Amino acid sequence: MNRALRLIRRRLIASIPVLAIVVLGTFFLLEAAPGDAVDAYAASLGGDAGLSADLRAQWGLDQSVWGRLAAYLYALAHLDFGRSVIFSRPNLDVILERLPNTLLLMGSATALSFGLGSLLGIWAGAKPGSLRDRLLSVGSLAIYAVPGFWLGLVLIVIFAVQLRWLPLSGIETIASSKEGFARAGDIALHLILPVGALGLIYLALYLRMMRAGMTEVWRTDYVLAARARGLPRRRIVLRHVARNALTPLVTMLGVQSAAMLGGSVVIESVFSIPGLGRLAQESVAGRDTSLLLGIILISAVVVILINLIVDLAYALLDPRVGASEVQS
Amino acid sequence: MTLLRTPTALLGFTILVVLALIALLAPLLFPADPLAIAGPALLRPFQDASLPLGTDRLGRDVLAELVHGARTSLLVGLAAAATSIIVGSVVGTLAGFIGGIVDEVLMRITDAFQTVPGFLLALAFVSVVGPSLPVVVLAIALSAWTGPARVARAEVLSIRERDYVAGARAIGMHPLKIAFREVLPNALPPVLALSSVIVAAAVLTEAALSFLGLGDPNRITWGGMIAEGRAVLRSAPYLSIIPGIALVVTVLGVYLAGEGVVEASAARKVRA
């Protein structure tokens, strides 16, 4: 367990400069945007020019760029992400309210693409060069070429408009007063199409990586040894080849988390899911720059945390990871 | 040509050549303003020979819009990919060749750009600066340069230890001259191998941005057409489906051509 703790500590220390650069970046984008936090406050709560001048002095916005940067950092250190114009509430409250829906969407889509992708990858990689292998390779490439938002619209046309099997949009039936399992079932029903649209796109990535990994492993000596021992083919495929090709896919989960989060922006707008992505679109439409940059900061934190979890999982799967650092 | 020997590569290059021709010849094929009304509104595809793909909600010719949209998609895709490859290889070369604190700072900046979801960054950049074609190109390049930077750095790290670099140093060549005249050109092949993936991602990102209404408002885009059609998704789904198919064909063409190049260069290595 000591190994895991060391890994966490090293990872957290490494993420400090990265977060600092993200904070600086958002500050300069905020500076480049027209209007400031006081304009936003006045727009949402009202007030005259005198109040605005007082507030600028109070929030340190009447100072030089460095003074404003210091005020921005001071506020962030106190978890003050500013105030949203369009919601007339603190940005952080709005963001945290929407975050669970996005995490649910991302998590389910990742489970779909990782699970189905690696299974199909094993199926393709069990017989490299076979017809099904080539069909799966080209087919997965074709799916990877599909824009997620368009796939979402096509799924809506087929399953919600034509067949009427699944709900059109939203995360749950409005004012249904469902509780417990009924509510969870309702949410699951609403999530089928958006999770399908987001998950299918990234499926190709895991499929191709799994297949490529398996073709590498097939050439190794221990697989040759297993075949020489006359083990059943199914056992060789699952126990010896697939198992060793699976570990690199776990690292991919972390790398892909930022792309998944970006992809959910458009998917949430297509399906009107009240998550972080839809919030980002609303803040763009409402010219609420401070809210948008708050979303960027929080999503950077989310990506860092997901990568930390993935690293830990990887260290558990592969005892060699982090072990060498004990000596160094 | 080795490049066109596999059927997938042949298909990919054929798609790209046809698309490029369509994009270049768009003003000749459809000289009229594609945003002008051409017929009755919401005419279905394959009903009228002069309007083969029908018309949209305002009675505009869908085929003309599609052909003009190809220009935007290809232009943005290529420009964003070129920008990210140039910026990425310069950053990667500097980081790998100079090393030390410069390497550390540049790589932490690369980390930061990879931590923020690229699409959110593009969204924020376009919404702050305002939508126009160059801004969309920059917004996409803003997150896409990190891949080339990492690959270029790794390559430069191995090249800078070679004898000819030591030779260049010995004759007193300026370090920056060595980095960009001697090292960078040799580090480029693996960076350029990324280009098909980057072009494809750029085309898809441009489509998603214009779908959300953040494309250049003065240009026809496939993403914008899909968004337009969304308003009548129930009654006229073809308006959203047709430009989406164009996107899929384009991106698939880029992927297949890219795979063909990789296979061809692998075959060349085997023979050599």
Instruction: State pLDDT tens for residues B229-240.
Output: 888 888 888 889
For B95, the token pair is 């980081």
**Whose structure tokens read 């909600």?**
B57
Q: Give residue B182's pLDDT.
A: 85
Is pLDDT at B71 greater than 60 in this prediction? yes
Q: Give residue A37's pLDDT.
A: 65
Minimal-distance CA residue of chain B relative to A149: B208
Q: Do B252 and A258 touch (CB under 8 A)?
A: no
Q: Is residue B201 less than 8 Å (CB to CB) from chain A?
A: no
Q: Give residue B145's pLDDT.
A: 95
Q: Give residue A65's pLDDT.
A: 77
Q: Give residue A146's pLDDT.
A: 92
Q: Is the dihedral of CA B233, B239, B241, B247 positive or negative?
A: negative
Q: How far apart are CA B32 and CA B259, in angstroms?
A: 38
Q: How far is A213 from chain B (nearest CA, A)?
A: 17
Prediction pTM value: 0.88
Selecting from A17, A150, A296 the residue whose C-beta is nearest the C-beta of B116 gives A296
Number of helices (H) and strands (E), helices first, in chain B? 12, 0
A121 in Cβ contact with A214 (< 8 Å): yes
A225 in Cβ contact with A288 (< 8 Å): no
Is pLDDT at B69 greater than 70 in this prediction? yes
Q: How far is B247 from chain A (nearest CA, A)?
A: 7
pLDDT greater at residue A43 or residue B212: B212
Q: How far apart are CA A309 and CA B18, in angstroms?
A: 46
Q: How far apart are CA A301 and CA A278, in angstroms?
A: 18
Residues 6+ apart with CB under 8 A from A104: A187, A191
Q: How far apart are CA A276 and CA B123, in angstroms?
A: 13
Q: Do A161 and B208 touch (CB under 8 A)?
A: no
Residues 6+ apart with CB under 8 A from B238: B44, B45, B53, B54, B229
Arithmetic mean of pLDDT, B23-49: 80
Minimal-distance CA residue of chain A relative to B107: A18
Arithmetic mean of pLDDT, B123-139: 91
Minimal-distance CA residue of chain A relative to B115: A300
For A81, the token pair is 């992400």
ipTM topping 0.85: yes
pLDDT greater at residue B64 or residue A170: B64
Q: Give residue B6's pLDDT.
A: 76
Query: For the residues of A287-324, what is the DSSP string, one character each?
Result: T-HHHHHHHHHHHHHHHHHHHHHHHHHHHHH-TTTTTH
CB contacts, 8 Å: A293 with chain B:
124
Q: Which residues pair with A83 in a beta bridge?
A: A90
Q: Do B200 and A145 touch (CB under 8 A)?
A: yes
| Residue B148 burial (10 A CB sphere; 0-12, 13-18, 19+) | buried
Selecting from B115, B119, B223 the residue whose C-beta is nearest the C-beta of A300 gives B115
Selecting from B129, B214, B226 the residue whose C-beta is nearest the C-beta of A150 gives B226
Q: Give residue A43's pLDDT.
A: 66
Q: How far is A138 from chain B (nearest CA, A)?
A: 9
Q: Do B116 and A138 touch (CB under 8 A)?
A: no
Q: How far apart are CA B248 and CA B254, in angstroms?
A: 10
Q: Give residue A208's pLDDT.
A: 87
Mean pLDDT value across chain B:
87
CB contacts, 8 Å: A147 with chain B:
204, 207-208, 211, 223, 244, 247-248, 251
For A191, the token pair is 């999530």
Residues 6+ apart with CB under 8 A from A93: none
Query: For A75-84, A164-173, B83-92, B94-103, which range has the lowest pLDDT when averaged over its residues?
Result: A164-173
CB contacts, 8 Å: A287 with chain B:
127
Selecting from A146, A261, A299 the residue whose C-beta is nearest the C-beta of B248 gives A146
Residues 6+ apart with CB under 8 A from A98: A274, A275, A276, A278, A279
Cα–Cα distance list, A310 to A214, A243, A276, B263 (Å): 21, 17, 22, 32
Selecting from B108, B234, B244 the residue whose C-beta is nearest the C-beta of A18 gives B108
Arithmetic mean of pLDDT, B177-194: 87
Is pLDDT at B246 greater than 90 in this prediction? yes
Mutation target vs A (from B197, B212, B245, B259; most A CBs, 10 A cutoff)? B212
Q: Is A149 left (phi over 0), alpha (psi -120 to 50) or beta?
A: alpha
CB contacts, 8 Å: B226 with chain A:
149-150, 153
CB contacts, 8 Å: A142 with chain B:
248, 252
Q: Give residue A106's pLDDT.
A: 92
Q: Give residue B148's pLDDT.
A: 94
Biggest alpha carbon distance in chain B?
Answer: 75
Arithmetic mean of pLDDT, B160-165: 86
Selecting from B124, B200, B244 the residue whose C-beta is nearest the C-beta of A293 gives B124
pLDDT greater at residue B30 or residue B204: B204
Q: How far apart are CA A305 and CA B206, in angstroms?
A: 28
Q: How far apart are CA B119 and CA A264, in angstroms?
A: 10
Please give chain A's pLDDT, 328 residues, in tens. 577 788 888 888 888 999 999 999 888 888 887 766 677 667 666 667 677 777 777 666 677 778 788 888 888 888 888 877 778 788 888 999 999 999 999 999 999 999 999 889 888 887 877 888 888 888 888 888 999 899 999 998 888 787 878 777 777 777 667 777 878 878 877 888 899 999 988 888 889 888 888 888 888 888 888 888 888 888 888 877 887 788 888 888 888 888 888 888 899 989 988 999 889 988 888 878 888 889 999 999 999 999 888 888 888 777 776 655 544 3
pLDDT in tens, A52-93: 777 777 666 677 778 788 888 888 888 888 877 778 788 888
